Copies of this chain bind each other. A is one copy, B any other.
Amino acid sequence: MTAPLRLSWMDVRETIRTRILDRTYAPGDRLPRDEDIAQELGCARTTVHRAMQDLSQMGLVERKRKGGTHVRADPVTRATFDIPITRREVEQQGRKYDYQLISREMEETPIPVMARLGIQQPVPMLHVKALHLADNRPFIFEDRWVDTRSTPGILDVDLQVQSANEWLVHNKPYSRVDVRFYAVIAQGESARYLATSAESALLVIERTTWIGQDPITTVQSVAAPGYQVAAQN
């Protein structure tokens, strides 16, 4: 006889997942209570709970107290992306990293930037433009606004030497972040610094961070032609 080995939560997860995929539990269906599944499979309820937690996080099921566990009717593709420090990203590709400060000025917050940061009144902010290079070729053009009220330390940093990107990541923790991707036509500065041909489509990674309610920074990182962002799998 095959030994009835102890079930791990991953075993349980795969069992449930298989049942969802083969429609034993169809989209919209309610699954048995954790405890019933535990009894059926012969493990503790905690183990089923752990499995369900994972399935829930994957977006396969939805759980509600009293409501029970349901197979999601409209499955979504869920993907997680890691956006590293630019220096790190370049170096991990085995390429040489360089960095150039383009400009650094105090300016009144423009309307679109206010919208991104969620503030109502313009204030003086540090506006930084910089170029990151990989093997001496333009890699990412960075257009950043830093709120000096929440982050006065940035004013003492020599941005010729260390990128704002790097300083902030190492020195300014955030509690909330908004990340979005979109495409733009190369134009103006981004074209001048990045574009190899007249008409290029560039991927923009826009990130905005807050600490509590206070805005820290918002940045548009415009990547050189050909750049892709891939999920962590």
Interface residues of A (CB under 8 A from B): 20-21, 27, 59, 74-85, 88, 169-170, 173, 176-185, 199-204, 207, 226-231, 233
- Residue of B74, B76, B182 near A228 (CB, 8 A) is B182
Report yes or no: B82 in contact with A182, Cβ–Cβ below 8 A: no
- Residue of B20, B84, B180 near A74 (CB, 8 A) is B84
Give the shortest distance, in Å, between A90 (CB) and chain B (any CB).
13
Report yes or no: B231 in contact with A178, Cβ–Cβ below 8 A: yes
Given A202-B183, A229-B181, check contact A77 B82 (CB 8 Å).
yes
Bound Cα distance A93, B109 (Å): 30
Q: Is the interface of A mostly helix, strand, loop or mixed?
A: strand
Report yes or no: A173 in contact with B79, Cβ–Cβ below 8 A: no
- Residue of B59, B179, B230 near A230 (CB, 8 A) is B179
Report yes or no: B80 in contact with A76, Cβ–Cβ below 8 A: no
Bound Cα distance A185, B76 (Å): 27
Bound Cα distance A169, B74 (Å): 8
For residue A179, which residues in chain B have a CB less than 8 angstroms away from its CB? 77, 79, 230-231
Report yes or no: B81 in contact with A169, Cβ–Cβ below 8 A: no
For residue A177, which residues in chain B have a CB less than 8 angstroms away from its CB? 77, 79, 231
Report yes or no: A183 in contact with B201, Cβ–Cβ below 8 A: yes
Bound Cα distance A82, B40 (Å): 33
Give the shortest distance, in Å, between A222 (CB) and chain B (any CB).
10
Report yes or no: B77 in contact with A178, Cβ–Cβ below 8 A: no
Given A200-B185, A201-B185, A203-B183, check contact A85 B79 (CB 8 Å).
no
Give the shortest distance, in Å, between A101 (CB) and chain B (any CB).
22
Bound Cα distance A83, B59 (Å): 11
